[in-house]
Chains A and B, each alone.
Chain A
């Protein structure tokens, strides 16, 4: 049976509830960001591989996927396009990493506040 920790001030105010809600939201966003970062990294890897393959190939015309079809595109244009896509992807990845860091910082802040108030009565760790 769980013994109460003596005279612990454990009233939950609206502010506390909002903090808890915010922590939940941040936690969700954190997991979503991790997934998105994973996808972005995969995309960048694929583009890297593609540009490496491009260097190795000696064909003049490359089948470049646009939408659902593969268009015959001259090699230089494909190179340019892949460079652009790599730019976009790495910018995206940077943005995601930044957001993830800010989310982690906010969560650490909230953890301090909530642990300070509730001590043992709350657990904010991952499973």
Chain B
């Protein structure tokens, strides 16, 4: 009697499931609050005088540096790197956008990041249970190999259907069948099966690692973008306030 065990090949599948892990919402009253996965980042208020000094320094620095974007993390596997903004005013003049279109652009970027994050999370969710599955298969093959030496049959109860189990008697044997997916099952010797399962386990763990690093990178970009949005918005609020006070003071004077 040949024993059959299910092996699920770790093929990451793409499925878009709108399951939002990070709770994020923007409350747009005067202060623009940004949530970074459980961390609330309140607006940074700049003072004009300090900013002016910084602008002069930044301008000097920017002219000396050749690249237009000082701190950009390069693209990684299709995910755009978020450009870190040293100074809001310089950023706005560089891109030539006014505040609203800059905000719109950044918001759009954020949405793209969200989409990619959901994709990656779904992939991770698919991949994660595969690893214990493969380990279970390895366990079974190891048990069979151990029993091979003793010469006695292995009696097991296996599930025929939900709640219904049947008894099976597994005699001494040298081979196992592995389910490779796509309705394909191949017979392997115990050693080959062990090595194949180990290889698959390695691959699964490696892809999970890569996935996790991608997710971390993505979350960093999301954080940078959120911070930039908050700063641009608050810079705008600040500018408006300055303008208001200047117009009201000129109105008072006249």
Which residues does A use to contact B, with CB under 8 Å? 1-2, 4-14, 17, 20-21, 23-25, 27-28, 31, 63, 66-72, 118, 120-127
Contacts and interface: CB of A to CB of B under 8 A. Distances in A.
B50 A9 contact: yes
Contact of A70 (B6, B157, B220): B157
A66 B143 contact: yes
Contacts of A21: 219-220, 223-224
Contacts of A11: 46, 50, 54, 87
A11 B158 CA distance: 65
B175 to A, nearest CB: 17
Interface stretch (B107-115, B133-141, B187-195): B133-141
B43 interface: yes
Contact of A125 (B6, B31, B40): B40
B68 interface: no
B139 to A, nearest CB: 5
B148 to A, nearest CB: 14
B140 A121 contact: no
A113 B117 CA distance: 29
Nearest to B155: A72
A118 B139 CA distance: 53
A24 B45 contact: no
B37 interface: yes
B216 A17 contact: no
Given A24-B39, A72-B155, A10 B220 contact: no
A14 B219 contact: no
A124 B41 CA distance: 7
Given A21-B223, A21-B224, A70-B158, A121 B44 contact: yes
A100 to B, nearest CB: 16
Contact of A28 (B23, B157, B219): B219
A20 B41 contact: yes
Given A8-B45, A127-B35, 13 more contacts: A7-B50, A10-B46, A20-B36, A24-B223, A28-B37, A31-B38, A66-B140, A67-B136, A68-B5, A70-B165, A71-B156, A122-B41, A124-B39
A71 B136 CA distance: 13
B46 A14 contact: no
A38 to B, nearest CB: 16
B157 A69 contact: yes
B227 A2 contact: no
A71 B219 contact: no
23 contacts: A2-B43, A2-B45, A4-B47, A7-B47, A8-B45, A12-B231, A17-B224, A20-B36, A20-B227, A21-B224, A24-B36, A25-B219, A28-B37, A63-B157, A68-B6, A69-B158, A69-B168, A70-B165, A118-B44, A120-B42, A123-B39, A123-B41, A127-B40
Nearest to A25: B216
A10 B45 contact: yes
